[in-house]
Amino acid sequence: MSHQLSGKKILIITSNTGIERDELVKPLEALKSQGAHVTYGSSQGGTTQTFVQDTEKDRTVESQAALAGIKASDFDALVIPGGTVNADTLRQDENAQRLVKEFADAGKVIAAICHGPWLLINAGVIAGKTLTSYSSVKLDLENAGAAGWVDAEVKQCPANGWTLITSRTPKDLPAFNEAIATALAAA
């Protein structure tokens, strides 16, 4: 399904430690192809190495901005790719945590895939929510107060005025990208 996302502004954030290629590039390309303006921001800005399956170096991608200079008020949605190393580093980034809180407080769409929900835990926004993630993150989410965890390619949870979309792995990217586009088209 194709949506017209012209005028919608989406922020994708990662650390600079390296990111699972498909979890960054596929949402970026899919959302741009539907007319959205997509900004890629990273912890320090500049170049980020992508990987295939967390270990095999692929290409580098230039981010347009460092997280410190980004405001949620400039965007309609936040997308958080996973990847073990990226997600573990990003969850400790104070600017990434600030952005998640700003998006949630403003009632916007937040989408996280794979290990990306680790950032949601550190930002303190998942209590009472039902979501999915990479299977090894399930216990972390439950311990952080999530209402539940489901084994589904995509889970959308209304979240006190904001929309939370989560997925498990890169194989779920088509459903993940579609859920983001649908939520933005309805907003």
66 burial via Cβ count (<10 Å: 0-12, 13-18, 19+): middle
Among 3, 37, 114, 157, which one carries the catalytic annotation? 114
Distance separating alpha carbons of residues 50 and 56, to the nearest angstrom? 8
Instruction: Assess whether 115 carries a catalytic annotation.
Output: yes
Instruction: Assess whether 114 carries a catalytic annotation.
Output: yes
Concatenating the DSSP letter of every residue in 139-181 gives: HHHHHTT-SEE--SS-EEEEETTEEEEEE-SGGGHHHHHHHHH
Residues acting as catalytic residues: 114-115
